Structure 1
Amino acid sequence: MSLPPQLRASLSPVELEFIACSHETIEIVPLFSMDRIRLISGIYGPFVPPTKTRVPLWLAAHLKLKMKCRIIPPEWLSVDYLKAKVEEEILNPELFTDIPFHYSEIAKVLLDMCVATPYRIPQPVQESILSLYRASDNIQSPDKIRSSLKDLREARQAKLRNNLGSIDFAIIVDVNPAPFFFVASSLTFRIS
C-alpha cells in the first residue's frame, strides 16, 4: 500500500488489524469436539459444541471460514450500544467514551465474516446455503453497525480537530524544548 511520507513510520491498517486479531479474544460456539489446545498465546478450549469458549480473534475467524464455529459478537457490537456511544461522544466534548481500544479493527474482522465465503463449499451449492451461513452469527443489521461505527469515528475526529486548537504549545516547549522544532514543523506541514 502506498502511503504519504509522513504516515510511513506509523502502522498500516493491515498491521493494526493483525495486532488486534492476535491480542483480542472472542467467544465462539464450536461445532466440533476437541480437548484444549496449547498455542503460544495461551491454552484454549475445551471445544464442546453447545458450550461457549474464548479464543483469539484470528482463530475464531479461521474456524468460522472453515465452518467449525459460530462467532458470538461482543456486546458493544450492536446498533443500540454504538448509537448511545455516539451520543455520549457528542454530548461530552472533553472525554472519549469507553470502548475497546481496537474497536474498529475488531469490528472490521467480524463484519467481514458476515460476507466472507467459506472454504470447501462448491460454487453451485454456495448460493443455497450462504444466506444461512452468514446469518448464523447473530450480528444484527451489519450495515447499520457499519454506519454507527462511521458516525463514532467522525465524532471522535471532530472532537480531536476542535480540541487541537486549544493545546498550549508553550507547555510543550517548557517540558521538552529540543524536539519542539520538529513537532512544530511537522504540525505546520500537516495542517497546511
Structure 2
Amino acid sequence: MAFPLPRGITPPEIAFLAEMEMVTIIPRQRLEGLELLGGPVEPLRPPRRASLPLWLALLLKRQRRANILPPPWLHPEPLSFILDVETQHPDYKSAFSPPPLLPGQSHPNARGQTPAARPRYTPDGQRYFAAPPFLPQNTAQTDASEVEPPSLPYHWLEVGNMLLDAASDDLVEPDQIRILLKDLREARNAKLRAGIDALDAASTGGGGVALTGVGAMELGEGRGFMVGVVDNLRKIGASKEQARREQMAEEMANRGYDNTQDDDDDMEF
C-alpha cells in the first residue's frame, strides 16, 4: 500500500535546497579546485576567503579544513533589530519584515549612485542574472551590509540552524543567536496563523494573501494549513452560494404563483 505524498515540497527537501546557498569560508589547508554541477570551485589558498556551497562548506568544517564566516544577518545585533521590526513596528504588525533587495535595487551608496547588478556565467559561457533564492545573500560581504538594512534571506531558517549545529564555534554568541531565531520563528508563525481573515477573502476572490518576506521553510510548513483553510472556505462559500440561489429560485416561483392566483381571481370576478 502506497502512502500519499504530502502536498507541496516537504521540509527535508527545502533543507536540501538550502544547502546550495553560497557561504564564505576561510580555508585551513590548500585544496585544488573542483568541477561541480553548479559551476567550478576555485582553489583554496589560506588565509584567502572563498565562496562555496553550504554543503561543501559544512563538509570541510566537519573535517576541520575550514572555518565558516557567518553571513551579515546572522549576528545578535541584526537579528535583534529584525525582531524589533517584526514585533514593535506599527507598519509590520500583520506584515513581515522586508526581504533583501534585488540586484540593481540597492540603496544609494555614499556617492548617491546605485550599484548595477552583476551578471553570472554558466559553464557554457552564457551570461545570466541571478534571482531569488539564488542570490549571494549568505556570503560575508561587508560592503553591502554596511549600506543595506538588516534583512532575512529566503533560506534564513535553514541556513541559521545548519550553521548553529555544525559551526557554532564560528558564530558570535551562538546561544543568543539560537534564542533570537526561535523568537523570530514564533513571531512570524503567529502572523501566518493570524491571516485567516485574509484567507477568507482570498477564497471568495476578494483579494490575496501578502507573503512578501516569508522564508522557504515557513512557506513549506504553512502550505498545508493555508491550502486546507482556503479549500474548506471555498467549499463553505460554494454551499452558501448554492443555498442562496435555491432560495432566490423558490422566491421567484412563489412570486409567479401569487401572480397567477391574482389573474384567476380577476377572471372569476
Establish whether TM, by shorter chain, passes 0.5. yes
Greater share of residues in helix: 1
1:65 aligns with 2:69: no
Q: How does 1:1-192 map to 2 (within 5 A)?
A: 8-22=6-20, 24-90=21-87, 91=89, 92-97=92-97, 98=99, 99-114=152-167, 135=169, 137=170, 139-167=171-199, 168=201, 169-171=203-205, 183-185=230-232
Residue 159 of structure 1: CA displacement?
A: 1.6
Residue 187 of structure 1: CA displacement?
A: 8.3
Task: Measure the CA separation in 1 of the matches of 2:85 and 2:27.
Answer: 36
Amino acid corresponding to residue 19 of structure 2 in structure 1: C
Q: Are the counterparts in 1 of residues 95 and 191 from structure 2 also a CA contact under 8 Å?
A: no
Which is worse superposed, 43-52 or 87-96?
87-96
Q: 1:117 corresponds to which residue?
A: none
Q: 2:257 corresponds to which residue?
A: none
Judged with a 3 Å threshold, the aligned counterparts in structure 2 of structure 1 residues 165 and 50 are, in CA distance, closer, same or farther, namely: same
Larger gyration radius, structure 1 or structure 2: 2
Task: Measure the CA separation in 2 of the matches of 1:182 and 1:152.
Answer: 24
Unaligned regions of 5+ residues in structure 2, if any? 100-151, 208-226, 236-269
Q: 1:123 corresponds to which residue?
A: none
Task: Measure the CA separation in 2 of the matches of 1:94 and 1:69.
Answer: 41
Task: Measure the CA separation in 2 of the matches of 1:16 and 1:46.
Answer: 29
Q: Are the counterparts in 1 of residues 204 and 234 from structure 2 also a CA contact under 8 Å?
A: no
Unaligned regions of 5+ residues in structure 1, if any? 115-133, 174-179
SS of 1:166's equivalent in the other structure is: helix
Moved over 3 A (4+): 180-183
Higher relative contact order (CA 8 A, sep 6+): 2
Residue 86 of structure 1: CA displacement?
A: 1.0
Quote the sequence identity (%).
34
Amino acid corresponding to residue 141 of structure 1 in structure 2: E
Residue 185 of structure 1: CA displacement?
A: 2.2
- Summarize deviations over 1:96-132 as a string: whole Å, max 9, x none: 2221111111011101113xxxxxxxxxxxxxxxxxx
Q: Are the counterparts in 1 of residues 28 and 65 from structure 2 also a CA contact under 8 Å?
A: yes
Task: Measure the CA separation in 2 of the matches of 1:100 and 1:76.
Answer: 8
TM-score normalised over the length of structure 1: 0.71
